């Protein structure tokens, strides 16, 4: 049997890390596959169905639904970047992850999270224009501009997240190879570093506050404009119709930011009061719950999507 490393042992450029999943739960964490497994399955089926519907139905080739397809593709990618490894660790126990693969996963998880936040902001702006300036909407919001926006969001995410793996790769020594987490989160790896990690901590904090803060402010401003416009409408029916166009997006925003904010606050300010297994569990829920819920929310609240899905699953002839 291999002896456990001594407290003062260090590892130079380890070839792999060992993912432990959710420490402290022992064999009980295998039961969590009954939670995260269905979440991932919902993500695959739901987002896959949304992408298929938008792609095959020409009447849905509109900016609003193209943004929805972008969100679905991002959700599908984000869930796939962590769920297979998470389920393997929960079911089979600790597993080795190559050093390079860990850095790649770190990049994709954080980059896709940034893209999702940006897409939610773009969708809020889209709804603000649709409600506030409906006559100018076809001119201001076009399919080409949606494509440019999606490309810009992807490039921005790459630019701001690339420093994460680079800041980790500069370190030569680690105090352990075991990562007490279910995926290669930036700060989970930084905790193992032997050296000055001030730059990592500062960049992670600034990036979290800047990206989420700017996007949340933009979303809040957009819905402030929407609320101002809706309250000026003459009839209750008109106000209800205008609100109905935004209800699904509001639910998606809450599903993404509320768990994320709670996870962030427990990590930054509750490290000594909130047990580590709770924090790790929250961080996984934060990444896997929105991709599972978003297709259900849009399928239930968006009439065009709901009707098209009903036609598909009831084998009715399309009327489009």
Q: pLDDT band at 270, cuts 50/70/90?
A: low
Rounded to an integer, the average pLDDT of 258-281 is 75
242 vs 33, residue with greater confidence: 33
How far is CA 204 from each of CA 127, 211, 236, rounded to the nearest angstrom? 31, 11, 46
Q: pLDDT band at 38, cuts 50/70/90?
A: very high
Please count the structural domains in the chain: 1
What pLDDT, on the 0 to 100 scale, is given for residue 268? 66
Rounded to an integer, the average pLDDT of 18-33 is 83
Query: Does 6 reside within a domain?
Result: no
What pLDDT, on the 0 to 100 scale, is given for residue 6? 44
pLDDT at residue 101 is higher than 60: yes
Rounded to an integer, the average pLDDT of 42-47 is 94
What pLDDT, on the 0 to 100 scale, is given for residue 3? 42
- Which residue do the tokens 């639910």 mark? 251
Query: Does 258 reside within a domain?
Result: yes
Q: pLDDT band at 9, cuts 50/70/90?
A: low
What pLDDT, on the 0 to 100 scale, is given for residue 76? 96
Rounded to an integer, the average pLDDT of 13-39 is 85
CATH code at 193?
1.20.1070.10
pLDDT at residue 105 is higher than 90: yes
| Sign, CA torsion 63/68/69/70 | positive
pLDDT at residue 299 is higher than 80: no
Q: Give the HSE-up count for residue 10: Cα atoms under 13 Å, Cβ half-sphere.
A: 9
What pLDDT, on the 0 to 100 scale, is given for residue 7? 46
pLDDT at residue 87 is higher than 90: yes
Percent of the chain with pLDDT over 90: 40
- Which residue do the tokens 């962030």 mark? 264
Looking at residue 176, the DSSP 8-state letter turns out to be -
What pLDDT, on the 0 to 100 scale, is given for residue 125? 93
**Strand 173-174 to strand 11-12: parallel, antiparallel, or no bridges (unpaired)?**
antiparallel
Is residue 247 within 8 Å of 303, Cβ to Cβ? no
Query: Does 10 reside within a domain?
Result: no
Q: pLDDT band at 72, cuts 50/70/90?
A: very high
What pLDDT, on the 0 to 100 scale, is given for residue 141? 92
Query: Does 9 reside within a domain?
Result: no
Query: Does 57 reside within a domain?
Result: yes
With DSSP H G I counted as helix, E B as strand and the rest as coil, what are the percentages for the chain, rounded to 5? 75, 5, 20
Q: Which of 33-47, 87-101, 227-241 has the lowest mean pLDDT?
A: 227-241
What pLDDT, on the 0 to 100 scale, is given for residue 11? 62
For residue range 194-229, list pLDDT tens digits in order: 888 899 889 988 888 888 889 999 999 998 888 888
Query: Does 4 reside within a domain?
Result: no
What pLDDT, on the 0 to 100 scale, is given for residue 109? 94
For residue range 125-178, list pLDDT tens digits in order: 998 998 888 899 999 999 999 999 999 999 999 999 999 999 999 888 888 888
Q: Tell me the residue ranges of DSSP E strands in the chain.
A: 11-12, 16-19, 95-98, 173-174, 178-179
Is residue 309 within 8 Å of 53, Cβ to Cβ? yes
Domain holding 271, by residue range, is: 15-310
């Amino acid at each position: 049997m291999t002896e456990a490393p001594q407290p003062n042992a260090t590892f130079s450029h380890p070839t792999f890390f060992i993912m432990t999943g959710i420490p402290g739960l022992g064999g009980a964490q295998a039961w969590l596959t009954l939670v995260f497994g269905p979440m991932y399955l919902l993500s695959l089926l739901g987002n896959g169905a949304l992408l298929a519907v938008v792609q095959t139905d020409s009447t849905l080739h509109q900016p609003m639904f193209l943004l929805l397809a972008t969100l679905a593709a991002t959700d599908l990618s984000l869930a796939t970047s962590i769920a297979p490894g998470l389920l393997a660790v929960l079911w089979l126990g600790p597993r080795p992850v190559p050093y390079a693969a860990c850095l790649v996963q770190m990049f994709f998880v954080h980059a896709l999270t940034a893209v999702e936040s940006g897409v939610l902001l773009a969708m809020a702006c889209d709804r603000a224009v649709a409600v506030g300036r409906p006559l100018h909407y076809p001119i201001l919001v076009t399919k080409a501009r949606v494509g440019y926006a999606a490309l810009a969001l992807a490039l921005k995410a790459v630019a701001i997240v690339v420093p994460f793996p680079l800041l980790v790769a500069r370190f030569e020594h680690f105090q352990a190879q075991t990562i007490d987490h279910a995926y290669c989160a930036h700060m989970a790896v930084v905790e193992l570093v032997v050296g000055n990690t001030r730059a990592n901590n500062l960049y992670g904090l600034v990036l979290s506050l800047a990206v989420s803060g700017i996007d949340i402010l933009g979303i809040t401003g957009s819905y402030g404009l929407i609320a101002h416009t809706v309250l000026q409408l003459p009839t209750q029916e008109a106000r209800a119709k205008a609100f109905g166009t935004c209800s699904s997006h509001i639910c998606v925003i809450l599903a993404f930011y509320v768990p994320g904010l709670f996870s962030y606050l427990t990590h930054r300010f509750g490290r000594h009061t909130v047990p580590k297994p709770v924090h790790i569990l929250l961080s996984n829920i934060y990444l896997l719950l929105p991709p599972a819920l978003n297709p259900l929310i849009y399928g239930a609240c968006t009439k065009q999507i709901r009707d098209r899905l009903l036609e598909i699953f009831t084998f009715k002839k399309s009327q489009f």
